[in-house]
Structures are given as structure tokens and as C-alpha cells.
Structure 1
Amino acid sequence: MAAILIAEDEPFSRMVVEAAARDLGLEPLAVADGDAAIAQARAAESLEVLFTDIHMPPGPDGWAVAREVRRIHPDIRVIYTSGQAGPEDYERFAVPESCLLPKPYTSIELVAAIAGEGLSH
């Protein structure tokens, strides 16, 4: 089963993303901060998708998490999410095969992002 790494510091949001991932046939690996996300990426044999909140204090933010996870798993798709980051941030920091999912998002938007619709680059 393909895996998705979910780095989201808000517990309810994390649970919603986990449920959507399971519905799409992905194995969710969910963590609450950037350090745990990087550790999980190092331990995982393979990852198909990274779903990362951009703002996860106090550790590495989602931009740094994506850079490090992409170094470990070069072909991973990345979904960035934030209630604060704008398109200019995304254009500056995004990696290929990624998308920005602004908060709040609908379940339809979430599923589409996880399924790989709306990718840029």
C-alpha cells in the first residue's frame, strides 16, 4: 500500500486528512511537527505523498520539511497547506510536483489534492 506522510500540528485537521487518505487507499503516517515528519521520512521505505502544514511551531516549517523529505524521497508529491501563506510564498518555495491547498479547504478539495489533481510545475 502506498503511504502518505501527514505533517499537521492541528489534531482535528490531521484526523481529517488521515481519513481522506485511507478512503483513497493510502496508508497515512501522521505526525504533529516538522522534526517528527523528517524522522518518519527517514524511516519510511517509500512515500508517495507529503501533506505538510507550512506553519508548525516550534520546529522546521513545512517548506523545510518538504525540502528534506524530497531529498530522501526525490519523487514524492507535496501538498502544502496553510491559512496564512499566499501564492507568492508558494511560488518562491514550492517544489516540483506540488500544490498549495489554502485553509480552510473542503473535503472535495482535500481529496483532489491527495489524488494529485491541481499539481503545478
Structure 2
Amino acid sequence: MENAQPVILVVDDEPLTRLYECDVAEEAGYLTVGAFSAEDAIMELEGPTEFQVMLTDVEMPGGLDGFALARTVQERWPEVRIVITSGEPDYADQAEESDLTFVAKPFTPDQLNSALQARASGPDRS
């Protein structure tokens, strides 16, 4: 079953940052689900909710960082589009090489919404 509103999985280990990201996305009309780590994100993705976009931080606790999570999602859920975010601008090149949208922290609501919109409505990856 498809949702009328796109559902975004927001993955960030910083609770206030995750809340902010969810609030920005919800104000733009998206439904959101938050996850603390890559492992939590995978559990959410394995559940009944169909996600259109995943927004993930790069540096997180546990065995997987945001790029490893993105690779897992690209392999297992290729329909989920991915936006990577970090306070380290050096990750932008790595994101581009992986065909991922990158948003540098700190970002404005408009910057985040533009990245989410581009991914939510963008063409499927090949």
C-alpha cells in the first residue's frame, strides 16, 4: 500500500538533531520515523512501513556508519532514495561518488527540504 505522503526515515544518533530534522520534514508535508543508529534503521526498513527516502548522518555509533548503511539500503531496498548529512564537508565528494545527495550541517530548513524533495521525486537509481 502506498502512502499519500512520502515517508522519510531519519537516522541520527543526536536526539535533538534527529528531532529537528523530523520537524523540518514534517512541516514540509512528509511523514517521518526516527532511528538512533544504522542497526535501528535496518530494523525499521524491515518492518511494514514503506519508506521513500532515508536521511542519514555519516558518523554514528555501532558497526555501520552512514555510508555503510546507504550501501546496505541500496542493495536491499533500491527503491529508497538516500540523503547523507554531516558536519564534515569532506564527505560531500564520497556522497557524490556513491550517487547520494549530500547536505552539510548546519543546514537551513530550505536546504534540507530541497534535498529531500529532489530525492523524493527524483528518478529511480539505475
TM-score by structure 1 length?
0.84
Q: CA deviation at 1:91?
A: 3.3
**Which segments of structure 1 move beyond 4 Å, counting only runs of 4 or more?**
none
Indicate the residue corresponding to 2:114 in structure 1: 112
**CA displacement at 1:52 relative to structure 2:** 0.4
Show CA shifts across 1:37-88 (max 9, x none): 1111111442110100011023310011111122232122211001125233
Residue 20 of structure 1: SS of its match in structure 2?
A: helix
Q: Deviations over 1:22-43 (max 9, x none)?
A: 1222221101111101111111
Q: 2 CA distance for matches of 1:51 and 1:79?
A: 5
Q: Would the aligned equivalents of 2:9 and 2:51 in 1 still touch at CA under 8 Å?
A: yes
Q: Secondary structure at the residue paired with 2:84?
A: strand
Q: Distance in 2 between matches of 1:53 and 1:24?
A: 20
Where does residue 21 of structure 1 map in the other structure? 25
Query: How many equivalent pairs are there?
Result: 116
- Once residues 88 and 67 of structure 1 are traced to their aligned partners in structure 2, the CA distance between those partners, rounded to angstroms, is 16
Q: Please report the RMSD computed on the Cα atoms of aligned residues, expressed in angstroms.
A: 1.9
TM-score (norm 2): 0.81
5+ long unaligned stretches in structure 1: none
